[in-house]
Amino acid sequence: MEKRRKKVLLIDPPGFNGLKVGRVLGSFGTNKADQVWPPYDLQIMAGYCKKNNHGYKILDANNLNLTYKEIKNEIEKYMPDWVVYLTCFQTFKLDAKIAVVSKQVDKRIKTACISLSIFSVQNPAKQMEELPDLDFIIWGEPELSLMELINEKKPQKVRGVYYRNKGKIKFSGNAEKSKNLDEFGIPVHSCMNYKIYKCPMAIRLPMAVVSCSRGCINRCVHCQAGSFQRTIRYRSIENVIKELDELKSLGVKEIKFWDASLLSSLEFTEKLCKKMIEKKYGFTWHCNARAEFVNPKILDIMKKAGCHTVAIGCESSNAEILKNMGKNETPEEIEKAVKLIKKHGMRVLIYMTFGLEGETEKTMKETYNFAKRLNPEFVTFGVVVPAPGTPFYDSLEKKGYLINKDLELQDPNSLPAFSYPNLSPNKIHEFSRAAYRNYYFRPAYILMRLNKLRSLEELKISFTNALSVVKRYCFEEVR
């Protein structure tokens, strides 16, 4: 018997306190600057729905600043069979209001939440008991399990599902990970409003997100991608190119490659760049990379293919902290990679993270001075968030350092949920905020950025981001 074609409404829920929440591909936290990223997880799921001949619609309530009343109106207009929404562990309870308004429209609508970082949601069965309008939590990578449910397979026969049966919460075990990312089809972009999406690293607009892989080759103790999404898997070049073809036809100019480290497969990256050059897309783009994979040959071809910025995860300039966090890179390797990228005429973003185990006021100052000396065009100074299920969280809990185990609305910009014997949460938080102000408002930095601007569009992007940094790190009330 042929399965009935379903209508699936995919929703990125609103943020909180007037702030947008980045739930993309398992990430979390409120936006630091003037960034608006599309909900790519939902675009992947839309592509999978399309491949399975189901109807779909994406509602980016997060970035469109929709109220729950407006979301309810959209549900009434579309009248879906399924409402699927993105979530993350800090906003899990808040996001469940999507399920509430869905059932208010029609009790027959099936509701489910998904996240690539779902394993950080604590006590899922207990929380689901308290959320009677939520029908399913997809436990693990969501696509395969969710599609089986949409295709009317009974939940007890689907791996990776928390579901209800005769008034009780049942669990069918962890979801199966896809070994072939191409099976999801091509992420859908045609239904997105690309006028609203932007990124601090972009030099042109409109911008889209593309992810060529899932997982990370490394396992840093605090990172969910390394803890939950291993092993690393790449899409085929042909599959990615079909997606880029669609973006070109839609008039997109800038690509944000979201991969944990695009360069983890140098062979893939080289083939992709050659294909982009061959097809004369003309995209400008930026990506993440681990320092160990940066070399002159790959940077040469990346630049020819349109790459202008490479982001490097550094976390700390202290070798002992890097060793203990499982970074598997040294400060010297990171510095070498940054200098090499700059030598090739490309910009650099460095991710710095305060609060890892072994952190002191001295190491924080050294990390800040390290960033200042390397002088990248962009740097983040986030406070590490202990995500449940990661080795970092487990270590803090074992040693009694966690002071907030609930973690609701926890954020890289908020007070840490932990306290060390010789380093208080306030010290870490204050230093992080001061680092942003001190770094970005240096006259030498401002002059450097102005000298490198090449268009009015780039100037506008830089200006709006500067205003966002001022608002966030000079005037925002500490929560």
β strands within 6-149, DSSP E: 7-12, 55-60, 82-86, 110-114, 136-138
Cis peptide before 231 (omega within 30 of 0): yes
Structural contact between residues 396 and 386, judged by C-beta atoms closer than 8 angstroms: yes
Evaluate the CA torsion angle 300, 303, 307, 311 in order and state its sign.
positive
Token pair for 87: 């979530």
What is the per-residue pLDDT for 392?
A: 96
401 and 255 within one domain: yes
340 and 212 within one domain: yes
pTM: 0.94
> Does residue 160 lie in a domain region?
yes
> Does residue 192 lie in a domain region?
no
> Does residue 185 lie in a domain region?
no
Residue ranges for the chain with pLDDT beneath 50: 1
> Does residue 409 lie in a domain region?
yes
> Does residue 181 lie in a domain region?
no
- Choose the final residue of a domain: 153, 171, 189: 171
> Does residue 190 lie in a domain region?
no
> What is the rounded distance in angstroms from the CA atom of residue 115 to the CA atom of residue 130?
19
> Does residue 2 lie in a domain region?
no
202 and 98 within one domain: no
Token pair for 388: 């449940």
105 and 254 within one domain: no
Largest Cα–Cα distance in the chain? 70
CATH number at residue 142: 3.40.50.10090
- The gap from C-alpha 160 to its chain's centroid, in whole angstroms, comes to 22
> What is the rounded distance in angstroms from the CA atom of residue 93 to the CA atom of residue 180?
32
269 and 167 within one domain: no
**SS3 (DSSP) at 40:** helix
149 and 209 within one domain: no
344 and 463 within one domain: yes
209 and 120 within one domain: no
What is the per-residue pLDDT for 106?
A: 98
> What is the rounded distance in angstroms from the CA atom of residue 58 to the CA atom of residue 60?
6
The secondary element (H helix, E strand) that includes residue 213 is strand 213-214
Query: In total, how many domains does the chain have?
Result: 2
CATH number at residue 232: 3.80.30.20
What is the per-residue pLDDT for 474?
A: 67
163 and 249 within one domain: no
Alpha-carbon separation of residue 115 from 141, 259, 324, 335 (angstroms): 7, 16, 28, 34
β strands within 404-458, DSSP E: none
Alpha-carbon separation of residue 423 from 12, 324, 352, 382, 401 (angstroms): 36, 18, 18, 16, 11
Domain membership of residue 166 as a residue range:
7-171
Locus of tokens 């102005």: 450
167 and 292 within one domain: no
- Choose the final residue of a domain: 171, 186, 206: 171
> Does residue 439 lie in a domain region?
yes
> What is the rounded distance in angstroms from the CA atom of residue 8 to the CA atom of residue 44?
13
273 and 159 within one domain: no
> What is the rounded distance in angstroms from the CA atom of residue 123 to the CA atom of residue 93?
12
Structural contact between residues 114 and 86, judged by C-beta atoms closer than 8 angstroms: yes
Beta strands 284-289 and 378-383: pairing type?
unpaired
231 and 107 within one domain: no
